[in-house]
Amino acid sequence: MTENIHLISSVTCPWVQRAVITMRAKGVSFDVTYINLRDKPDWFLAISPHGKVPVLKIGDEVLFESNAITEYLDETCAPRLHPADPIKRARNRAWTDFLPTFGWGPGLNNLTYCKSRDELPDAIADARLRVERLENAIATERGNDGPYFNGAELSLVDAAYGPFLQRFQISEAVLKTGLLDDFPLVRAWSDALLADEAITGSVPENFAEEFDRNLERRETLAWALMSGAEAAE
């Protein structure tokens, strides 16, 4: 790819990170502009139909939505991260479509941003249902190989889920829910993703600081424990 690639990003957005992981895995050179999603500039709103990041500019062309962006990158930049087999590729796409159910709403994200100990049991129960589905999916797609979703090679599924597992692990350090204890395949997968430089290096240097501030703004239980406002059990 010879066109200039420019990513419009937000420091803590997991959907943006999905695109960054994909480009890093492919060795794509790109520039980044970070915006404040609580004060979106007019120029950004003019090119982002949904007012969301990521937005990817390829020369004069503009793409939006992380799934569309990563699919475009996989079609135009080697190496391919989707499986060659069409059935397996379709199932991979189905599991990337499951990501909002897994990561957002009453999924892993809800656990990360849980506000109180009273809310924690329900948040854990909801997250367990989604993690269990992934445990079964990994057993089916990967078999006895590893360490990634499909086996030995990083895929678009890994790029999609890695950011959410990374954020969960930050909060899990203080929440200590033990959510992954009963799901050894997901735990091993998470460990492999968070040891991969394509993923760990896909956030800016101030990510940890900004993510902590995000937890604070949302008045989360994880922040209360991190800051000492509530004693850990």
Q: Which domains does the chain have, with CATH numbers?
A: 5-76 (3.40.30.10), 86-227 (1.20.1050.10)
Alpha carbons 43 and 72: distance in angstroms, whole number: 23
- Range name among 63-67, 99-103, 177-181, 228-232 with the lowest pLDDT average: 228-232
Reported confidence tier of residue 141, pLDDT bands at 50, 70, 90: confident
Alpha carbons 162 and 192: distance in angstroms, whole number: 10
Residue 8 has pLDDT above 90, yes or no: yes
Q: Would you tell me the crossing angle of helices 120-142 and 184-193 to the nearest 10 degrees?
A: 80
- Range name among 38-52, 53-67, 75-89, 131-145 with the lowest pLDDT average: 131-145
Higher pLDDT: 115 or 1? It is 115
Active-site positions read 13
Residue 105 has pLDDT above 60, yes or no: yes
Question: Residue 202, SS3?
Answer: coil
Segment 49-74 mean pLDDT: 96
- Range name among 50-64, 119-133, 139-153, 211-225 with the lowest pLDDT average: 139-153
Alpha carbons 101 and 84: distance in angstroms, whole number: 26
For residue 108, the model assigns a pLDDT of 87
For residue 178, the model assigns a pLDDT of 96
Tokens representing 173 are: 């350090």
